[in-house]
Amino acid sequence: MIKKWAPENFELETTTIWSFPNRGNWATHDGKYRGNWSPYISRNLLLRYTNIGDLVLDPFIGGGTTAIEAKLLQRNCIGVDVNPKSLELCKQKCAFSCPNSGKLCLHLGDARRLDFLSDESVDFICTHPPYADMIIYSKDIQADISRLPVQEFLKEMEKVAYEAFRVLKNNKFCAILMGDMRKKGHIIPLSFYVMQIFINAGFSLKEMIIKEQHNCKATGFWRTRSMQYNFLLIAHEHLFVFHK
Ligand SMILES: C[S@@+](CC[C@H](N)C(=O)[O-])C[C@H]1O[C@@H](n2cnc3c(N)ncnc32)[C@H](O)[C@@H]1O
């Protein structure tokens, strides 16, 4: 039973620092899909970069946060994921009816090969890929890039970036959330590597937003380690908005 259709007192973000201590629980949103992003992020992006009736693509749809927001905000959405379980969850989460809602099309597929989409057919891309193998989403799905270590992951993200550039209409936007990692005491700036990959694919960088992280499940373990080995806890991700 849905109690709230929209966040209370919502205001569009106006600066390059975004922070949502309460991740958002309106409509069917919840934090159960591991590593899902806050619906405040997709809501802000959709309201700022799209119009009613636009076609939005999320090629790493996961538990369906973007799809729910697109439906509520009367945008049409194509959600792609390699994992049938994610698509099933997404379908369940979007099985509500609301007046004038946008249409949803789910596709079991690979963000690196969106053959079913023609060139320049999408109005906005809004997505949240895995952060290399920081969270591994499946054990045996070959095409799941969350199984790949950093260097291999980055090679595959080149294909994602070229495909995103191909299917996006000219003069439109593509937003990607990406986190960084720490290995052997040093930062691996995964987000900046991914940013450069999208620039190399032809995009220009419109915005670079710092998104503060809250309720990170690993915080307890890392807090102890950070004191023991003297390093800072990573408490933000980067949200890049690219322009084609
Ligand atoms: C960080 S999650 C997305 C979470 C989503 N933003 C949400 O709020 O639920 C990343 C997703 O990418 C999917 N994935 C991994 N490799 C993929 C690929 N090659 N093509 C499409 N999806 C992929 C995983 O199955 C996972 O669901």
Average pLDDT of 10-14?
97
Determine which residue's CA is closest to atom 19 belonging to ligand 1.
110
What CATH code is carried by the domain that includes residue 232?
Answer: 3.40.50.150
Residue 192, domain member (yes or no): yes
CB 58 within 8 A of CB 52: no
Residue 2, domain member (yes or no): no
CB 54 within 8 A of CB 123: yes
Residue of 116, 137, 140 to test ligand 1 pocket, by largest number of atoms within 8 Å of CB:
137
pLDDT of residue 217: 59
pLDDT above 80: residue 141: yes
pLDDT above 90: residue 2: no
Residue 37, domain member (yes or no): yes
pLDDT above 70: residue 235: yes
Domain extent for 91: 17-243
Nearest to 5 by CA among 96, 80, 87: 96
Which segment of 73-77, 98-102, 172-176, 229-233 scores lowest on mean pLDDT? 98-102
Residue 4, domain member (yes or no): no
Phi, psi (deg, nearest 5) at residue 146 = -75, -5
Residue 6, domain member (yes or no): no
* Strand (E) or helix (H) holding 18: strand 17-18
CB 198 within 8 A of CB 242: yes
- Residues 212-223: tens digit of each pLDDT: 998 665 667 778
CA angle 242, 29, 64 (to 5 degrees): 50
- Residues 27-36: tens digit of each pLDDT: 999 998 998 9
CA angle 98, 103, 107 (to 5 degrees): 130
Dmax over Cα atoms in the chain, in whole Å?
A: 55
Determine which residue's CA is closest to atom 22 belonging to ligand 1.
81
Residue 146, domain member (yes or no): yes
Nearest to 238 by CA among 202, 212, 204: 212
The identity of residue 16, as a single letter, is T
The pairing of strands 236-243 and 168-178 is: antiparallel
Q: How confident is the model at residue 57 (pLDDT cuts 50, 70, 90)?
A: very high
Contacts of 31 (CB under 8 A, 6+ apart): 23, 215
pLDDT of residue 218: 61
The pairing of strands 76-81 and 55-58 is: parallel
The identity of residue 111, as a single letter, is A
- Residues 16-27: tens digit of each pLDDT: 999 999 999 999
Q: Count the domains in the chain.
A: 1
Contacts of 132 (CB under 8 A, 6+ apart): 146, 148, 149, 150, 153, 154, 181, 190
Chain centroid offset of residue 43 CA: 12
Residue 10, domain member (yes or no): no
Residue 8, domain member (yes or no): no
- Give the mean pLDDT of the chain: 95
This prediction has a pTM of: 0.96
Ligand 1 is surrounded, with C-beta below 6 A, by: 33, 35-37, 59-60, 62-65, 80-83, 86, 110-112, 128-130, 137, 143-146
**Which pair of structure tokens corresponds to residue 82?**
């390699």
Nearest atom (ligand 1) to Cα of 135: 1
- The end-to-end CA distance of the chain, in Å, is 40
CB 70 within 8 A of CB 77: yes
